[in-house]
Amino acid sequence: MAENPQAERRPWGDIPAVSIFAPIPEVKGHPRYLEAKSGDLQAAKALVGKLLHSGTLQLLEAAVRAERPLALGVYALEEAGVNRIPAAMSELIAERLSLELTDSVVQVNTVGHTGAQGWSRLVRQAVFDGEVQPGRSYLLLDDFIGQGGTLANLKGFVESRGGRVIHLAALTGKAYSATLALRPDTLASLREKYVVDFERWWEKAFGFGFPCLTESEARYLLRAEDADTVRGQLAKAGLQAIN
C-alpha cells in the first residue's frame, strides 16, 4: 500500500466558487484531448485556446483585476504522462489577463485521479512542494475539478507559506463541485452521523479535520452507511491501517 497522504489544508475563509470554463463533454470530446493529457503541449494549447470561453474569462478578469494575482497551475504527473493542460491553461490565462505566471510550486506525487472513483480520490491526496511568495495573492488553475481535493491541497500549501489564494478556476468539471468551501450545515451533518472518535481518526489519517474537507468530499462521505464502511472503502482504495 502507498504511504498515507498528509495534505496541507487551511480553513476555507471567504473563498469564492471555482470558475469553470467548459462542460466535460466539450473538453473530453476535443480531438486533441488525449494528446494534451499525455504530454503534448501544443495539443494542450489548441484545446485550451478553443475552450477558454470569453464570458467566463471576463468574469474571472473582473474577480482578480484589483489584486493582479500570480497565476499558478497544478503541474502534475498522470499515469499516461505529464498532463500539459494546466500549464497551457495557466499560460493562456496569464497572457489574456496580463497576469504574472509562476511555476515555482509543483505536485510531487502521482495520484492518478483521471477516471478514479471517489474513495481513490480521497486516499490519493496531491502533495506539493516549491517556493511561495509570502504576501502575494494567487489565482490557482487546474484542468478538472471533481471532488476538489487537489485545488484544496494547493490552496493549503500556498496559504501555509504566506500566500493568499483569492480565486480558483478549472477548464472543466462538475458544476456542483465548484463550491469548495464546506457548508456549515454539511459539517453539522457529518458530525451528527460520525462520532468524535471517527473525526479524530480521519485527522490522523489525512492530516486535516472535517472542517477542511471540500463540500463534495463531505457529501461523498455522507453517502456511506457508517464509519466502518468508510474505513473499509478507504482501505480497499489503498489507505494504510491507522492505529
Helix axes of 196-206 and 227-236: crossing angle, nearest 10 degrees:
20
Domain ranges of the chain: 19-177, 184-236
* Residue listed under C-alpha cell 495534505: 7
Dihedrals phi, psi of 142, to nearest 5 degrees: -145, 165
- Condensed to tens digits (0 to 9), the pLDDT of residues 148-161 reads 999 999 999 999 99
- Condensed to tens digits (0 to 9), the pLDDT of residues 191-220 reads 999 988 999 999 999 999 999 999 999 999
Res 235: pLDDT: 93
DSSP 3-state assignment of 196?
A: helix
pTM of the predicted protein model: 0.91
Identify whether the C-beta of residue 89 lies closer than 8 Å to the C-beta of residue 48: yes
- Helix (H) and strand (E) counts for the chain? 11, 9
- Which H or E element spans position 100? none
129-144 mean pLDDT: 96
**CA–CA separation, 199 vs 63, rounded Å?**
35
Res 113: pLDDT: 53
pLDDT above 90 (res 115): no
Dihedrals phi, psi of 138, to nearest 5 degrees: -130, 145
217-229 mean pLDDT: 96
Residue among 200, 236, 225 at smallest CA distance from 122: 236
Region 19-177: CATH code: 3.40.50
**CA–CA separation, 229 vs 184, rounded Å?**
24
Res 81: pLDDT: 61
Identify whether the C-beta of residue 105 lies closer than 8 Å to the C-beta of residue 157: yes
The burial class, CB within 10 Å (0-12 / 13-18 / 19+), for 184 is exposed
- Condensed to tens digits (0 to 9), the pLDDT of residues 92-106 reads 999 999 999 999 998
How far apart, in Å, are the Cα atoms of 123 and each of 64, 98, 201?
Answer: 32, 37, 14
**CA–CA separation, 214 vs 186, rounded Å?**
10
